[in-house]
Structure 1
Amino acid sequence: MKKFFSIAIISLFLISCTQLKPKATGDETEIITYVDSLLYTQIQDPLKSTFQRLLYTPQPESLFIIKPEFQIYSIDNLKTRKNIMFVSTLDNKSDIGLYVSNMLDPASRELVEKDSAFLFIKKDLWSKGQIIVVLVSKDKETLLKHLTKDRNEIYLYFRDEFFKRELDAIYSEGHNKKDIERYFLKKYGWTIFVQHDYYIAKDSAEEKFVWLRRRTPEDMERFIFIHWIDSVENPYKFFNQVWIAEKRNELTRKFYRTTRDDAWVVIADDPESIKYLYFFPVNFNGRYAIRVQGLWRFNDFTGGGPFISYVFYDENQKRIYFIDGSIFAPRYEKKKLVIQIDALLHTFKTAGSGEIASH
């Protein structure tokens, strides 16, 4: 298995712990990429394929955009950016190539020469909330190999940092509706961070269903629902793609209806929505879960958007939880909204799990 090592920065780049670092700035979706211009022409296709992969919302959007920088002297003006990447090879003698070479200590260089490491990471080097990634191999051929073979791992470093920033922002913003959070915990044995502009649209103990809704700005909506099933002895039967899709459609047909009650939300009932429906096994707050990502729409095709669901089992409560976030924002780019609502879902906590006290 390939090992990834934290980057070793020589003293030229070390910043004293006593120095006050500024907060990282810039667009979350831009990756400032320092790369020699000639090397870039040779690797730009796999590099863009790694980071500029499409997210269908339903319009195709790229979560990240590569912003190439071909002159190393611009680094002083860009040290506060959130996402910075250096891409080079040990045999590259350009200014950027030499800069990257000097970032490696002898042990790290040896690992690169042996092709035992190619990806190095440093967080908060010049600014708080910053991630710096160095992709370096002994030659172009080896670099191209990793950009193809290890593209998902490389991508996830930036994606996970984006997600972490959003989660930190949720917890630090304050103004959450603590009374509603306490109400959910006392009544149902779970809680979730309720931002100040969310409200309860449906609360049914009988149906074991809670719907939180946000309608600001007026032409944008975000929905979150929590559904649970009690006294589950065999949870594995619920980790089933067919059951998950059918259960979501059952819930949204009942609760996610238009104001005239003549249309409702559906997924996976036409070739287009099935095409963009993905199921992944993941770790959700320390539990095995199935993550679902795809597109929802009204059954009369009058609107739609992206959604994310998690289905997991709580051992202490003997419950299956189905939590879901949806977005309706026809006039807006939605890639950031998808990350934001995913982070909000990850604030979900259950009683007796030890999670609640940690926040």
Structure 2
Amino acid sequence: MKYFFCLILFFGLLFGCSKKEQTPTASLKPSFGNRNEVVLVIDDSLWVGSLGDSIRAHLAQTTAESTTTEPIFDLVQLDPSIFTTRAKTARNIVLFSIHTQHEFLLQKSVHATPQNFFFLRAKTKSDLLAMFKKRADSVISVFKASELNEETHEVVRTSTKELRELKEFFGCTLKIPDDYHLQVKSEFPFLWYQKDLSSGSVNLVLYEFPIAEIENNKGSVEEHLLQARNFIGKKFIKTAKDTAYITTNTKEYQFVSKENMLQMPAYRIVGSWETVNDYLKGPFISYAIRDEYYQRYLFVEGYVNNPLKNKRDQILEVEAIIKTINFNENGN
């Protein structure tokens, strides 16, 4: 789990932001803010116009991790005159100002902890706009990593059960919050955990396929990963209707990227699922981990079924659960 605690510092160094001497975190109050909330400290006159439009276009763009038109962040705009002591303890803050100095600065835990506090200062409005456009992706990356990190802490805090079936079936551990229950257990091997919502459910599933079935000359790895997902959906992930099951919605964009998990290659797939012979649909996130030791691809993925409700934060929760995976025999 050291990866999560180092991640935010890594992003700060990666994007080349200058830093100042920090207040010892032990003396700071805990930060506050809803998940994926960003406080923007900017003069009202700058918020209305090209700069405000650009900020909204970047920081409130539609997230890929949801089938609804949810923004990646919920924005709270404050004029500097009402940027109170309480507001200064928000977890994610960006301060824009017209200033004699030209500066892009990230400071950690300035008034509270944890906290990401960006300062953007420029001599003119046009310079400020150009600076933000150049640095927007960096700001987004830091905030997204921070929110995933905070959600992971919450997942670990609310996970107290030892789930022996995870080690028995897959030789791994996961931190799964106690409000998830085991829905289906099959010797395939396949495990399905579910969290009940007032209007639906959040679902976490695990299964595996041999590397030879995913990597061969009959198609691309990406095609075989989606075929594997659809096979599992048809075989195991049913709805209340007898003939209904989950499949990948290939009509909508599927985002596939590569990364490493525990020094193993992994494919991260984000997209939408739908049901054959039913009306249900929603977003999913899937990690397919290439495990050379067991000659398998281990799939760990989350589905959100929450009709007419926002799903962004629930997808974040299941991704945080997935990120706690550990293959150490001694656990986390």
TM-score after normalising by structure 2: 0.84
Identity rate, percent: 19
Instruction: Map Cα deviations across residues 158-213 of structure 1 (whole Å, 9 max, x no partner).
Output: 11111110001111224x321x2x332144311212321222222223x2222112
| Distance 1:235-1:248 versus aligned 2 partners, 3 A rule | closer
The structure with the largest alpha-carbon Rg is 1
SS at match of 1:312: strand
Matches within 5 A, 1:194-213: 194-205=176-187, 207-213=188-194
CA contact (8 A) 1:239 1:311 kept: no
Q: Does 1:281 align with 2:258?
A: yes
Q: Does 1:70 align with 2:79?
A: yes
Any unmatched runs of 5+ in structure 2? 1-13
Q: Following the alignment from structure 1 to structure 2, what is the Cα–Cα distance between the partners of residues 137 and 184?
A: 53
Q: Following the alignment from structure 1 to structure 2, what is the Cα–Cα distance between the partners of residues 159 and 227?
A: 27
Any unmatched runs of 5+ in structure 1? 92-100, 102-108, 113-117
Query: What is aligned with 2:41?
Result: 34
Q: Following the alignment from structure 2 to structure 1, what is the Cα–Cα distance between the partners of residues 112 and 176?
A: 30
Please tell me the residue identity of whatever aligns with 2:158. E
Instruction: Map Cα deviations across residues 221-276 of structure 1 (whole Å, 9 max, x no partner).
Output: 1111111134x47975597221122211111011111233211111134x3xx2x3
TM-score after normalising by structure 1: 0.78
Query: What is aligned with 1:98?
Result: none
Please tell me the residue identity of whatever aligns with 2:80. Q
Matches within 5 A, 1:221-260: 221-230=201-210, 232=211, 240-260=221-241
Matches within 5 A, 1:1-359: 3-8=15-20, 15=23, 19=27, 21-40=28-47, 41-55=49-63, 57-72=66-81, 74-91=83-100, 112=103, 118=104, 120-137=105-122, 139-174=124-159, 176-178=160-162, 180=163, 182-205=164-187, 207-215=188-196, 217-230=197-210, 232=211, 240-269=221-250, 271=251, 274=252, 276-351=253-328, 357=331, 359=332
Q: Following the alignment from structure 1 to structure 2, what is the Cα–Cα distance between the partners of residues 341 and 279?
A: 17
| Distance 1:248-1:156 versus aligned 2 partners, 3 A rule | same
SS at match of 1:55: coil
The total of aligned residue pairs comes to: 316
**Hey, which bits of structure 1, 4+ residues long, moved more than 6 A?**
none
Please tell me the residue identity of whatever aligns with 1:55. T
CA contact (8 A) 2:301 2:322 kept: yes
| Distance 1:258-1:37 versus aligned 2 partners, 3 A rule | closer
Q: Following the alignment from structure 2 to structure 1, what is the Cα–Cα distance between the partners of residues 169 and 248?
A: 30
| Distance 1:199-1:66 versus aligned 2 partners, 3 A rule | closer
RMSD: 2.8
Please tell me the residue identity of whatever aligns with 1:38. S
- Give 1:324 shift: 0.8
- Give 1:139 shift: 4.4
- Give 1:72 shift: 4.0
